[in-house]
Structure 1
Amino acid sequence: MSNNRNPQRTTSTSHDHNNTEDNNDIDYNISSKRRDLNAALGLDSTGAEDDYYEDNQIDYTNAFLKESKHSQEILSKLRPDISNFDKVLLGPTDWNYDDEKMNSLAKKQFVFDLLPSFEMLHSMQNTTPRCSFENPDDHDFPPDYFNNNIHGRIGSIAGSGSPSYATTPNSIQNSSTSLSSMTSRDSQITIDDYQDDTIPDTSEKNLLDKSHLLPNYDSSNIDVGVHVTRDVPDPIKRNENESMLKEYTSGDVVHGYVTVNNTSTKPHEFQMFHVTLDGYILVIDPNTKRSSHKRFLNMVDISASWSYGTLSPAANFNYQASTKDEEGFILGLPNDRILRPKSKYKKFFAFKIPYKLLDNTCRHDLEIHTLLPPSFGVDRVKKKGSYANISINPLLHYGHSGVKGSPILTDDLSGDNLSISYAINAKLISFHPRKLNKLCVLKQNEYNLRFIPYGFAIPLFSSKSALINLTSQIEHGFEVAQHVIDMKKLGKDVPQEDEAEFVRVLKDRQLQSVNPELTPSSSNNNTYSNPSFIDKIHETKDFSRVECTSKYLDDGLANTRSSFLKGLKLGGGSQKSKSTNTNGLITISSKIPKGGLPYISPSLLRKTNEVSKLNELGIKNHDKLSLSLPDKEKKKLSTLKFEFTFTPSDFSSESITLPELKNIKASLLALNMSSTSPIPVKLSGDFFTKKDSERVIAKFQKYHDQYQSLLEKFKEYELDLSRHIDKFTYQDIVALKNLHVDSTTVDVFDYSIKTDSSWEQTPSESNQTQWKKKVELNIDLKDNISETLVPNFQTCLLSRVYSIQLVFKFKNGHSTELVVPIRLRSFDDL
């Protein structure tokens, strides 16, 4: 089954039809060189087993290399005067350049998405309130990086006796500082930061970051609109709007414009106008109903937001500020921040969706948490619950509110308490009409985007190692803290050297648990008597296989598990009969498949987002991402291979009846794992099944109770528990204590047993006789799947993982389950 982008594209867009054959040769050569580059980088050379280990890094290096090369090629075609990019133009100026010298395709493709300096960003976006100066022209100074000139930040106040008035907008042409990308680790910030009568410079720096926390006034006299266009907008003419069902991916550019309309007969002042692309996660605890928001993506388009002067749009086109288009909109916003009566304004934006987030997105430095997650569910709390009534059309398998820019709701198994949203937000910030000197959002609007990440080579992994390390760290802290309390109960103070010695002995014990042959003296000297110790610590565990083991009993026997295991250990069988034996242990194992399953979406969404319907920029981005993956990463999963091992409990029997397989049932297991606090480990589907997750949650609940008990004792003795268990460790305990795992089983497969070999007798490592056989299962996705299956993702608060749940039934009525982790990714599968 193909995914939402049609792989059968036979022609490519070209502006020179006479050079079609030459272009094909060039494309072939480029493809060949790209494959050579993949091989040189080692992207195609790794073995199957090397793709599954705990600390594997995510491979998007090739995509970054192609993006850099692509940008350099376009810049070379623009042939600019480099010195012009270092100039900030003050006052009305005409930019003279020859359009004919500029490659038209390069001009259309180029987007200024370089990051500005923090000083420039703050000087343009985090401006002081309008009442702090009177003459806006006195503010028009560029930031001074060498002399600490305060004009770049607050302007000049002295001699500003003249009244404020609108001036001709200044022009900063072709600025390469149009986009700023930021992240917010913690959006749990109160609005009390804005309760001062005047806003000092420290608050000024945070105005942009905290604008989402300002109260919303929702003025009836102001209208703000956000419009997404199919292509680069024309500043004068009407533009074709993009489909609501459009799905964006990494590297795509979102083009459009924002409008501000003063419908009243009075002028309105404002302090700032921001246009941002935001991504945020909502998690609601189903028990306490406590909600947690995390804004993981925050990009601001400086050219679309308000600033002194007029920045050229991030997309590579220019317009004459203060002129009107054919719809009567004034291009740009007034320099004096006063909206004239019955006037409407327009500004243009362009956001290039990044491949990954900034490193500080995740406090635990988990690289997988820096990848952008897909759109997931619908935020039913946002905008006073205006999206809560969206329902899914049973025929279309999706729904929306009917308003342009509404989020798209699909049956993605997200539930009502979880959501991941992307939206372009336009906010007009002003002083509150009824609360002077208090800032508010006078008017805002948003356009929700649907984002589906491209299938980068994200490895599968196991959570076991990370959980073992975390629990070891926690228990170590508890032991040290309890030792301090015990000494206090004996009326003794714990000298610092004694505490250090206790910690050393505790660490020695932990090291010996890793390798019993390690002696305390050797660890104290940082030398190891066993030369293989270091190798054992860094040994790559076999995370490439999963297995399940269960007892296999005859229907007529009522052996308990203890007696069964005793019989297995002693080699003795049931007294009922020594001539035959049907009891034993059966182990089923499978290699975690390299191939994956494609992203599944409603048919109309797939049709809207076919490659043939992408614009020129979308096609090139699709091809670039597709070529960044080796072919083996694109293979669709079609078979699963299993190895059966049977160990009889009674080896003295004259004959052994081997298990006979009756059938195998395969279904897709989707797990939503969430917490209201940042989760400290990567989560894997093979470990966080229902029973395993309950054990993990119970264990960390016990840790939490133990921490609270120690905290009371430390307070009693006026001691500081954070010396032994820091606040971050405590937050990790809370995160896993509050972990929620919701599983849904979906019937999406057609399956059949392909091969079922005969049992073969083989010796085991313990010299016991075993029988082994191999079974292969064909699986294929059904044609009509109503559910939307988004790609795997992991974030600090919310994760979605998939597994294939397999139930093996035998002819004697015995059954056992095996869970095999898999990946769902969005690309054209082979």
Structure 2
Amino acid sequence: MSKELSHESRSKSRPELTNAQSELAVRRGRQQLRTQTVAEPWMRSASTSSIWMRKPNARSPPPSERSRSSNRAGSLTRQERPRTEENVLVDVLPSFEMYNTLHRHIPQGNVNPDCHDFPPGYQEVQAQHNIIMRSTDQPTETQALDFQAPEIRRNSSSAAMNNLRAFSTQHISIHNSTSRFQEDPEPIEDDLNHADNINIDKLYSLPKLATPVEVTVRITKHAPKPHEKPEEESILKEYTSGDIIHGYCIIENKSTQPLQFEMFYVTLEGYTSLIDKQMGKRTLKRFLRMVDLSASWSYSDIQLSTGVKVVPGDVDFDNSILGLNNNRILEPGVKYKKFFMFKLPNQLLDVTCKQEQFSHCLLPPSFGIDKFRNHGKYSAIKVNSILGFGHIGVKGSPIMTVDMVDENLSINYTVDARIVGKDKRTQKLNIMREVDYNIRVVPFAFCCPIAGEQTVEKQLSFLLKDVQKRVDALERIFARLESNEPIKGNDVRGTDIDGTVDDTSQVDESELLRCKLDQLQLARNISTSDHDSEKNPKDLFSNTNKVETQFSYRVRSKSSSGLKSGIFSSLLGGPAPTSSKNDQTREKVSRAGLIVITAEIPEQSLPYRSPSLLRKTNKFENKNHYDQENWLQLQELIPQELKQVLDHLDIELTCIQSNNSKPGEPPEIQSITTELICITAKSDNSIPVKLNWKLLMDEDRLMKMKKTYSDLHKKINALNKKFDANVTKLNELYNMHDTSLAPRELRFNDIIPSQLFNNVDSLANLEVDIVNLNDVFKKQTHTLRENSPDNISSVPSSSSLQKSGSNGFLSATFSGSSSEHSRSSSSIKFVEQIVHEWNYCGPLKYKRNITVNLQYNDNLKETLVPNFESCLCSRFYCVRVNIKFEHRIGTATIDIPVEIKSFHNI
């Protein structure tokens, strides 16, 4: 939506514009780029949450784009880089009315060319909007009223809903692409209507007709210019938040006859695809859709956002004509070219997530590939074991990496070009040609803490109380049905129709206040019965920053004589001692206790990791000038202390020995290993709560939660069937008190809304996939640093050797070779740098600090995508530290959550 209309191009000879285009025609502004010497603060646009702009000051207007000239190196700061005014990015902030009309509807091109008139004014468009929209274009009640308060829902069923609404989630059969699982699918309106348009959401449902029209999409490094051959972008290019996507489309009629079309659209789209093979269902949620108005067909002369001057009808270097004809006819053998440009937003619109989860309104990274799109066009892609990724070898192919996700889940970004026409035989709308160009997106990780965000435990508690309250209301209503009594106000308490039943009962002030809170939907988020939370409001948002686990140990030893004889006889070449019943009876427990392992959740993060060839292609110095500027500007938003890479974990061990334990230090550590745990959660309905690693890693707790909501799901289905079977009688009981008023309809959705039912279904079908990666980090012994001569003696002391373990002790005692000496030196480094030593803190209590180094292996083939949460899927990470003790005591394990982010230097 970053396009504007030139006033000079408007004339009386042009046909009448559509309503949104008329608004676009009167909104013209251009922001010229001037040299900035200081970093300006960023502010969020009031019109849309997906556009970020510079805060203007008295010296310079807010710039929108930097020069795309290449930079000789990435070492210069943002202030030192030279700039040119060759290309300018124009950001137009549209109103919601303009966004709805232009963004959601496709003009069919049946405007009378003989009707000449000036475009209508903005006030006229606003007043006539509800009149020109046909009833089939109005959002259905379940879609449009999800964001309204209960009292508004009851009175708005017949009103025209022209508010901006979220993208709908589609459930499509993978066996038959035309069948749908939607409750009330709207028929496709193919005929002309008063609004001269169709809903853009129906564009994805139009049938595809084989036509001799060929459409090509190309992505370029810089903004393409007429009469100059552009340099194409690498297929391995990774885009981040705020980056610019430049390119062009070529439309060619391969037949020998002219072809008529109705509309041509170029969009940037992001969607999540989830496959359920058992149910034969494919779930699609489109979370991003941006339309380039200058690239799409229209009667308007919309100036390019790049500021490049284009003369419609001019012939380019490849003999293609710039622009499309106003008569919407593709001449045979003629190529038409349209330039496009998209700017990736920093975040999505607020209405993207109906659950109002802020983390769901952030851009997710490219994740897996959609193998079911275009009849399995990309299903044959395999990962090259040497390169670490794979594609089909053509421009526009998705990049498949080893990101630990199955083929049934994917997050995709595409630049789509669609040309819509009519079948000459049936006169029905169809897609003449559809082409997609896949791009790889790794969004920037903004480190903005969310104040007042509730924990998953509180969110689940509020949701369960809300569902149970409504189920109880249904049971009270059915109890009235069995006794043939009128439905009273207390029977519908806690539902959307609470307060609509007037039973002439006395209502005190507390009851009035409760009704008002219910109408404002505050009762869902504030538990009035939770007295502890009222006394301690901080408990609602408590979030510990530590993880802890416990490990109990027992050390069994034999008598000293048996131990010495066994050791020395084996070292001197004698026969190994045989175990006997008497030796087993000598074994006794000499030491026992409890080791408490504690670690803080780190604030720093691990860097995003991709295959080596992708890292090389997307280095900072290989970016164009604007991408470099954008990257530096984004990094300025990150606090300095959080820019550091997480390279180690600090773990504290506290040993509490038993009272009858033998005096002495706790058991020594033999080795430390690390694993990276990848946690992927998914559901075919929007996840209503903010998940965390602790819930997903606790299998018992997760299964208990799923069973709870699965039982509720079955119970609600049974109540729904019972309600439908007795709906007539229930409405009589509902209207029995209000005989003087018009009859009102009692609906099941008034008690349990469809959105709440979807929330229950989502948690009941939540799936979690956990993958352990053992070779992500280097071994701890390979991360040891060389000690300086001042810190360590050339000859290891006996005490240090004893601390290094029995192997080091025996090696130093019975061998004087250089190799054994080197091994002893490594053991000392391991003790001094990694495991350290036990410190006496009091009677029967010791403490020890461990430093676990985290360094990626050089030959790592897996791709570690950044953490993210979206409506249908999420990805979390944990580092599992395994601490193995000597004397076969066992291995203690602790899982520490970590984040992987992409803002580190590339």
TM-score (norm 2): 0.67
Out of 648, 653, 662, the residue aligned to residue 644 of structure 1 is 653
Highest CA radius of gyration, 1 or 2?
A: 2
Mapped partners of 1:396, 1:476: distance in 2: 55
Aligned with 1:445 (options 435, 460, 473)? 435
What is the CA distance between 1:801 and its match in structure 2? 1.1
Partner Cα separation in structure 1 for residue 65 and residue 681 of structure 2? 47
Range moving further from structure 2, 118-127 or 366-375: 118-127
Aligned residue type for 2:624:
N
**8 Å CA contact retained: 2:421, 2:430:** yes
Q: Provide the secondary structure at the position in 1 that maps to 2:223.
A: coil
- Tell me the CA shift for residue 124 of structure 1: 9.2
In structure 2, relative to structure 1, the CA distance for the partners of 1:464 and 1:774 (3 Å cut) is: farther
What's the secondary structure of 2:201's corresponding residue? coil
- 1:68–1:664 Cα change, 3 Å: farther
Following superposition, the deviation at residue 418 of structure 1 comes to 0.9
Q: CA deviation at 1:406?
A: 1.0
CA–CA distance in structure 2, aligned partners of residues 389 and 525 of structure 1: 56
In 2, Cα distance between the equivalents of 1:352 and 1:183?
A: 20
Q: How does 1:59-70 map to 2 (within 5 A)?
A: 64=52, 66=54
- Provide the aligned length of Structure 1 versus Structure 2: 684
Q: Cα gap change, 1:147/1:542 in structure 2, threshold over 3 Å: closer, same or farther?
A: closer
Taking structure 1 as reference, are residues 689 and 736 closer, same or farther at Cα in structure 2, changes over 3 Å only?
Answer: same
Letter in 1 for 2:683: S
Alignment-derived partner of residue 6 in structure 1:
none
Q: Give the counterpart of 1:72 among 57, 61, 70.
A: 61
Instruction: Tell me the residue number matched to 1:283.
Output: 274
User: Post-superposition shift, 1:708?
Assistant: 3.4
Amino acid across the alignment from 1:739: L
1:548 equivalenced with 2:628 (yes/no): no
1:743 aligns with 2:743: no
How has the CA–CA distance of structure 1 residues 524 and 789 changed in structure 2, closer, same or farther, with 3 Å as cutoff? closer
SS in 2 for 1:606: helix
Distance 1:698 1:526 in 2: 25
**Counterpart-to-counterpart distance in 1, 2:769 and 2:857:** 24
Deviation at 1:115, TM superposition (A): 3.1
Distance in 1, Cα, partners of 2:337 & 2:422: 22
Following TM superposition, by how much is the alpha carbon of 1:652 offset from its aligned partner in structure 2, in angstroms? 6.5
Give yes or no for the alignment of 1:815 onto 2:891.
yes
Whole-Å separation in 2 of the counterparts to 1:625 and 1:474: 42
Summarize the alignment of residues 384-403 of structure 1 with structure 2, pairs less than 5 Å apart: 384-403=375-394
Q: Does 1:115 align with 2:94?
A: yes
* Separation in structure 1 between the aligned mates of residue 216 and residue 117 of structure 2, nearest angstrom: 28
**3-state SS of paired residue (1:118):** helix
Q: Mapping of 1:255-654 within 5 angstroms?
A: 255-285=246-276, 287-434=278-425, 436-457=426-447, 463-482=456-475, 495-497=488-490, 533-536=534-537, 538=539, 540-549=541-550, 551-552=552-553, 585-646=594-655, 651=659
1:145 counterpart residue number: 122
Deviations 1:504-558 (A, max 9, x none): 9xx99xxxxxxxxxxxxxx999998x9x9433455642421122245545679xx
Within 2, Cα distance between the matches of 1:816 and 1:77?
A: 53
1:663 aligns with 2:668: no
Tell me how far 1:583 sits from its aligned partner. 5.2
Q: Distance in 2 between matches of 1:668 and 1:285?
A: 28
Q: How do residues 130-209 of structure 1 correspond to structure 2 at under 5 angstroms? A: 130=109, 132-133=110-111, 135-136=112-113, 138=115, 141-148=118-125, 184-187=167-170, 193=186, 195-196=188-189, 198-201=191-194, 204=197, 206=199, 208-209=200-201
Distance 1:713 1:774, change over 3 A: farther
Separation of aligned partners in 2, 1:475 and 1:706: 11
Distance 1:723 1:269, change over 3 A: closer
- Tell whether the 8 Å contact from 2:666 to 2:838 is kept in structure 1 after alignment: no
- Would the alpha carbon gap of residues 411 and 127 (structure 1) be closer, same or farther in structure 2, given more than 3 Å must change? closer
The AA in structure 2 aligned to 1:678 is: S
* Distance in structure 2 (CA, Å) of the matches to 1:639 and 1:653: 34
Distance 2:228 2:677 in 1: 50
Match of 2:903 in 1: 827
Give 3-state SS (helix, strand or coil) of 2:191's partner. Answer: coil
Question: What is the aligned counterpart of 1:233 among 208, 214, 224?
Answer: 224
User: Whole-Å Cα distance in 2 between the matches of residues 145 and 286 of structure 1?
Assistant: 50
- How far apart are 1:471 and its partner, in Å? 2.9
Equivalent residue for 2:244? 253
Gaps of 5+ in 2: 1-34, 68-81, 133-163, 173-178, 499-506, 512-525, 558-584, 731-746, 781-829
Superimposed CA distance per residue, residues 746-765 of structure 1 (whole angstroms, 9 cap, x where no aligned partner): 120124361344254569xx
Q: Does the C-alpha gap of structure 1 residues 111 and 607 become closer, same or farther in structure 2, counting only changes over 3 Å?
A: farther
**Cα–Cα, structure 1 residues 781 and 583, in superposed 2: closer, same or farther, change >3 Å?**
same
Q: Partner letter of residue 597 of structure 2?
A: I
The DSSP-based 3-state class of the residue aligned with 1:742 is: strand
- Using a 3 Å threshold, how does the CA distance of structure 1 residues 413 and 253 change in structure 2: closer, same or farther? same
Q: Secondary structure at the match of 1:110?
A: coil
Q: Is the 8 A contact 1:685 1:802 kept in 2?
A: yes
Structure 2 contact 49–348 (Cα < 8 Å) conserved:
no
Percent identity over the alignment is 31
After superposition, give the CA deviation of every residue in 1:666-709 in whole Å (9 maximum; x if it has no partner).
11111111111000111212321161433332332233233334
Q: Deviations over 1:404-451 (max 9, x none)?
A: 1111111111221111111111111001244x2311110121211111
Tell whether 2:706 aligns with 1:697. Answer: yes
Aligned-partner Cα distance in 1 for 2:645–2:613:
22
Change (3 A) 1:196 1:595: closer
SS at 2:94's partner residue? coil
Q: Which residue of structure 2 aligns with residue 683 of structure 1? A: 691
Per the TM alignment, residue 480 of structure 1 is displaced from its structure 2 partner at its CA by: 4.8
Q: C-alpha distance in 2, partners of 1:787/1:442?
A: 40
Q: Structure 1: 5+ residue runs without aligned partners?
A: 1-25, 42-59, 79-102, 156-180, 509-522, 557-575, 764-768
Is the partner of 1:414 in helix, strand or coil?
A: coil
State the partner residue of 1:214. 206
